[in-house]
Structure 1
Amino acid sequence: MNTQIKSDPTVFVIFGGTGDLNMRKLAPALYNLYLDGWMPKQFSIIGTGRTKYTDEQYRQTLLDGINQFSRSGKADPVKWKAFSESVYYQSSDVKDHESYKEFGTRIEKHAADWKTKPNVIYYMAVSPNFFPIIASNLSKAKLTQDTKRVRVVIEKPFGHDLESAKELNQLLANIFDECQIYRIDHYLGKETVQNIMAFRFANSLFEPLWNRNYIEHVQISVTEQLGMGERGDYYDGSGALRDMIQNHLLQLLCLVAMETPINWESDEVRNRKVEVLRAMRPFTADDVRNSTVRGQYAKGWMEGKEVPGYREEAKVDPQSNTETFAAIKFFVDNWRWQGVPFYLRTGKRLHQSASVITIQFRDVPHKVFPSETSESWAQNRLIISIQPEMSIRLQVQAKRPGLDMILNPVDMVFDYKGTYSNQTPEAYETLLLDTMMGDQTLFMRGDQVESAWELVMPILNTWQNKKSLSFPNYSADSWGPESAEALIARDGFHWFTLPLTSKK
């Protein structure tokens, strides 16, 4: 167990404590942090919701979730008993500001028992329409004033568009200091995503090549086999652009494109990310027509099972204009990246579930070897696989064994499973620990959120105001609409797919 770094005594108040996010992600993450020795000696987890539970009933509910979803498997009875003694439940309606006084009473009791003021983390694992209500009621109950110890965690989506994001930022700014606000994007907690910065800034090998002189283009693909499940009503008001590109994929782009920070302080790192977003080329009407593609899946077959089209999914408008696929070409207009296209692609019901960043380097300026020596010539590529496998591959040309000179692409691979024997923590474990430690490096700042919305608004407005006459335009288990291939083919490129051991 790791005992070198400990946060101060901490109280977690989880709004939406009976919800799916807590059962699948938050509770298992907190329990695993406890098992690995990262939780403070004194901590309390208070779940809240409208369901009537006793503390024991709530603990059993969390145990069921941990047994099903924890990376460490079923809970050890002895360790679970010790952990669960710090788990409590408070039945309340988030709209009832009087009920918030009980949180204050519980926190004061913990402070008296522990003989020290604890850090207090309010986690909003609820529908976004409740964010303003909870924040306002916490303020009315005078539970937000300690700027050093009180923190609030906001799940995505952070706003529905630029205007709503600004309104939410302003409301939070009237209640909290920016140092108290943790806008969470679980993608930034993934191990391979964090390793992008380590790979870039802890090694001297690639930085001299990390620019327009050596990099031809960048691709970022986050593809999913899944359809809607029970999320049809939410997704139909969101779509691929809002749900994935505005946050997850643009965050990955920032990590690839950002300048080297001076140090590892959270605001310094986030400043560099905001600079990327502000340098990105705004979209004109012509750009939306020529540099973006949207799609919506039709019915088809996935792994031997027939699946419905998007418009036939539960809780989806049969005439829906919502995109389930988006591919967009971006440019970062600065000295490092001028003229280098960044292609972003995401979609539902695609052939493979994977998150992959591919950096293609420019071809050699002069080919020394005759064409017959190269059976399958490929330019050098750096491939960062985030999921389902975690790896970093550098593709280079090498001579095939034999008496003749034949060149083939080969991979130099850093593979997590092959390199490390210990289990990789889940993204929420990393982000919850950072929240306890007061480290905002992996969390989005208010200006970063607004800059991302400002960039995508011309696309969003065009797509909303002009109904697509081609929907549905790709079948399940494909790689998306043909126009997505045409988007990148016009520049002489093609979408890369990484052969993986599993399509899951």
Structure 2
Amino acid sequence: MTAEHVNPLRDPTDRRLPRIAGPCSLILFGVTGDLAKKKLIPAVYDLANRGLLPPGFALVGFARADFKDGTFAQMIKKAAKEGARTPWSETVWKQLAAGIRFVPGEFDDDDAWDRLADTMKELDDQQGTGGNHAFYLSIPPSLFPVVVSQIKKHGLAESSKGWRRVVIEKPFGHDLASAVELNRMVGDVFSRESVFRIDHYLGKETVQNILAFRFANGMFEPIWNNHYVDHVQITMAEDIGIGSRAGYYDSIGAARDVIQNHLLQLMALIAMEEPVSFNASSLRLEKQKILANARPPARMDLHTAQAQYVAGWAGGEKVRGYLEEEGVHEGSRAETYAAIRVDVSTRRWAGVPFYLRTGKRLGRRVTEVAVVFKRAPHQPFNKNDVEELGQNALVMRIQPDEGVTLRFGAKVPGTTMEIRDVNMDFAYGGAFVESSPEAYERLILDVLLGDPPLFPQHEEVELSWKILDPVIAHWKQDKEIDTYPAGTWGPPSADAMMARDGRTWRRP
């Protein structure tokens, strides 16, 4: 069976059966935006093509655009064709197209919301959606309040039959206070179990493999602690600049964009204790324990770094600096690189620092978690024999070359006892015939199924802001921001931060 014909989203309780969503609709706010066109619409088509959506599934777009007859469906078709990961099928498209609807209007237009309510009733009658509707807020966070309040005002969050759910894209606030207010506002309209906060990184197969790697194998757990682990490095590096996201990025920066959600979630998965089961409540409980006991560095000036990229070379081309990017405010202090040390105050991890870093215009695109182990307490070799031997490391590659690498020392062939680092490598693409589903496929299907393990609850969001807020506050006091040339691996301040602890950053 070829990879494209293998269903990677089968029922985990019976590998022969697919996890098919029941009758329902997905209502997309921001349907004309880049996220919807590039990720959400293709993911919906791929789910339909895999046979994971019911025949009566409906897709509703809500936007201020004025589509003429049939042009909205054509826009959906174009986006699906361009972004789909499965082969194109006109039969699948015709079935999907039968449930496509569009509601024009502004978010503060009560008449438009009345039309949306009528459309939902029509779908219940004609498509058999049975009162099951998910609202997907693919919109800027500043618009969340008006959309959520309109959903409440027009009674769309409640129904005498079926379920109502809401999907919120990150960022979940811009600090702790705003996150608390956002959670309060959404909680006034939807029940806890009906709120799905999307962190697309948690939908990646390789992120979920962290749990399988740790708890399905007996060889790693005995050394997964401060007796053997020296430190952990979590990196999300991008080789591209900000592109067309200046309006968003200039107001938020790298730390809020990536560390608060993606990297702290990865840290929690690496550090958490074994859950009693893999249901949503058990997983969240263990992650929350880690985030509740995680602390930013006591000396922000010594163990944090922020910087902006300046002009340099990337991919063999000369590229401009952040302040020269279109749409960036003159004198902007938004960081494009952020690094922090986090300490987890538990028996398992006391004394083991977690170093988190992210940046734009770095040497290459890579996301990885590196667990770096302590050196052997005694090495019966001459100093020259081990001068090229580093520390053992276990590296989990999230993207783009998904897999796991184990670095250890081995003897170089020859007459002398020379020991050098070597890698043992596992690659997803070479080990499995199943094609990994795109993250949004998995997450959208989980929303429609009401399966919440991969979605952080508001407690995790607020705990993450408690870790990051003091760092942001410290950076605001700095009069200057460090810089690094595009195409390099970050600023001198980040290297100095590691050097103070007698460590260096990995070169992915």
TM-score for the superposition, normalised by structure 1: 0.94
Q: 1:198 is matched with which residue?
A: 212
Letter in 2 for 1:80: W
Tell whether 2:92 aligns with 1:68: no
Shift of the alpha carbon at 1:496?
Answer: 0.8
Of the three residues 125, 143, 149, the one matched with 1:136 is 149
Shift of the alpha carbon at 1:85?
Answer: 2.2
Structure 2: 5+ residue stretches without partners:
8-16
Of the three residues 27, 33, 37, the one matched with 1:19 is 33
Cα deviation 1:53-100 (Å, max 9, x = unaligned): 146211211222223222236x33333223222222111211113322
Q: 1:218 is matched with which residue?
A: 232
Letter in 2 for 1:464: K
Q: 2:347 is matched with which residue?
A: 335
Shift of the alpha carbon at 1:343?
Answer: 0.6
Per mean C-alpha deviation after superposition, the further-off stretch among 59-68 and 9-18 is: 59-68
Q: 2:62 is matched with which residue?
A: 48
Q: Give the Cα–Cα distance (whole angstroms) in 2 for the partners of residues 55 and 266 of structure 1.
A: 43
Tell whether 2:502 aligns with 1:492: yes
Q: Give the Cα–Cα distance (whole angstroms) in 1 for the partners of residues 477 and 390 of structure 2.
A: 42
Q: Give the Cα–Cα distance (whole angstroms) in 2 for the partners of residues 153 and 389 of structure 1.
A: 29
Q: 1:444 is matched with which residue?
A: 456
Q: Give the Cα–Cα distance (whole angstroms) in 1 for the partners of residues 365 and 19 of structure 2.
A: 35
Letter in 2 for 1:474: Y
Of the three residues 430, 437, 443, the one matched with 1:425 is 437
Per mean C-alpha deviation after superposition, the further-off stretch among 107-116 and 373-382 is: 107-116
Question: Aligned pair in 2 of structure 1 residues 395, 492: CA closer, same or farther (>3 Å)?
Answer: same
Cα deviation 1:15-48 (Å, max 9, x = unaligned): 0111111100000011111111221232100111
Structure 1: 5+ residue stretches without partners:
499-504
Q: 2:329 is matched with which residue?
A: 317
**Maintained 8 Å contact 1:220/1:358:** yes
Per mean C-alpha deviation after superposition, the further-off stretch among 423-432 and 112-121 is: 112-121
Shift of the alpha carbon at 1:148?
Answer: 6.6
Q: Give the Cα–Cα distance (whole angstroms) in 2 for the partners of residues 227 and 294 of structure 1.
A: 16
Q: 2:103 is matched with which residue?
A: 90
**Maintained 8 Å contact 1:225/1:351:** yes
Q: Give the Cα–Cα distance (whole angstroms) in 1 for the partners of residues 286 and 63 of structure 2.
A: 39
* Match runs of 1:292-441 below 5 Å: 292-374=304-386, 376-402=388-414, 404-441=416-453
Q: 1:239 is matched with which residue?
A: 253
Q: 1:58 is matched with which residue?
A: 72
Cα deviation 1:155-194 (Å, max 9, x = unaligned): 0111111111111111111111110100111111111111
Of the three residues 466, 471, 476, the one matched with 2:486 is 476
* Match runs of 1:106-121 below 5 Å: 106-113=119-126, 117-121=130-134
Shift of the alpha carbon at 1:311?
Answer: 1.0
Letter in 2 for 1:275: K
Q: Give the Cα–Cα distance (whole angstroms) in 2 for the partners of residues 17 and 138 of structure 1.
A: 17
Tell whether 2:55 aligns with 1:79: no
Of the three residues 197, 206, 227, the one matched with 1:183 is 197
Secondary structure of 2:453's aligned partner: coil
**Maintained 8 Å contact 1:485/1:494:** yes
Q: Give the Cα–Cα distance (whole angstroms) in 2 for the partners of residues 291 and 408 of structure 1.
A: 31
Q: Give the Cα–Cα distance (whole angstroms) in 2 for the partners of residues 173 and 424 of structure 1.
A: 34
Q: Give the Cα–Cα distance (whole angstroms) in 2 for the partners of residues 116 and 487 of structure 1.
A: 55
Question: Aligned pair in 2 of structure 1 residues 40, 402: CA closer, same or farther (>3 Å)?
Answer: farther
Q: Give the Cα–Cα distance (whole angstroms) in 2 for the partners of residues 412 and 235 of structure 1.
A: 38
Q: Give the Cα–Cα distance (whole angstroms) in 2 for the partners of residues 483 and 283 of structure 1.
A: 15
Secondary structure of 2:239's aligned partner: coil
Secondary structure of 1:359's aligned partner: strand
**Maintained 8 Å contact 1:283/1:458:** no
Of the three residues 182, 189, 192, the one matched with 1:168 is 182
**Maintained 8 Å contact 2:312/2:485:** yes
**Maintained 8 Å contact 1:485/1:495:** yes
Q: 1:502 is matched with which residue?
A: none
Letter in 2 for 1:494: T
Q: Give the Cα–Cα distance (whole angstroms) in 1 for the partners of residues 421 and 477 of structure 2.
A: 46
Q: 1:501 is matched with which residue?
A: none
Per mean C-alpha deviation after superposition, the further-off stretch among 372-381 and 321-330 is: 372-381
Tell whether 2:51 aligns with 1:37: yes
**Maintained 8 Å contact 1:301/1:477:** yes
TM-score for the superposition, normalised by structure 2: 0.93
Letter in 1 for 2:145: P
Q: Give the Cα–Cα distance (whole angstroms) in 2 for the partners of residues 374 and 452 of structure 1.
A: 41
Q: Give the Cα–Cα distance (whole angstroms) in 2 for the partners of residues 288 and 400 of structure 1.
A: 43
Q: 1:267 is matched with which residue?
A: 281
- How many residues align? The count is 493
Q: Give the Cα–Cα distance (whole angstroms) in 1 for the partners of residues 424 and 296 of structure 2.
A: 37
Shift of the alpha carbon at 1:321?
Answer: 1.3
Cα deviation 1:93-150 (Å, max 9, x = unaligned): 1111332222222222332345562421100011111111111111111111249711
- Aligned sequence identity (%): 40
**Maintained 8 Å contact 1:254/1:276:** yes
**Maintained 8 Å contact 1:55/1:88:** no
**Maintained 8 Å contact 1:13/1:123:** yes
Q: Give the Cα–Cα distance (whole angstroms) in 1 for the partners of residues 94 and 57 of structure 2.
A: 14
Q: Give the Cα–Cα distance (whole angstroms) in 2 for the partners of residues 496 and 274 of structure 1.
A: 28
Shift of the alpha carbon at 1:404?
Answer: 4.7
Q: Give the Cα–Cα distance (whole angstroms) in 1 for the partners of residues 267 and 214 of structure 2.
A: 13
**Maintained 8 Å contact 2:170/2:197:** yes
Cα deviation 1:222-266 (Å, max 9, x = unaligned): 111111211112111111111111111111111111111111110
Q: 2:472 is matched with which residue?
A: 460
Q: Give the Cα–Cα distance (whole angstroms) in 1 for the partners of residues 286 and 473 of structure 2.
A: 28
Q: Give the Cα–Cα distance (whole angstroms) in 2 for the partners of residues 17 and 99 of structure 1.
A: 15
Q: Give the Cα–Cα distance (whole angstroms) in 2 for the partners of residues 134 and 274 of structure 1.
A: 29
RMSD: 1.8
Of the three residues 293, 300, 303, the one matched with 1:291 is 303
Q: Give the Cα–Cα distance (whole angstroms) in 2 for the partners of residues 255 and 189 of structure 1.
A: 13
Letter in 2 for 1:310: Y
Q: Give the Cα–Cα distance (whole angstroms) in 2 for the partners of residues 496 and 151 of structure 1.
A: 42
Letter in 2 for 1:346: T
Q: Give the Cα–Cα distance (whole angstroms) in 2 for the partners of residues 401 and 465 of structure 1.
A: 55
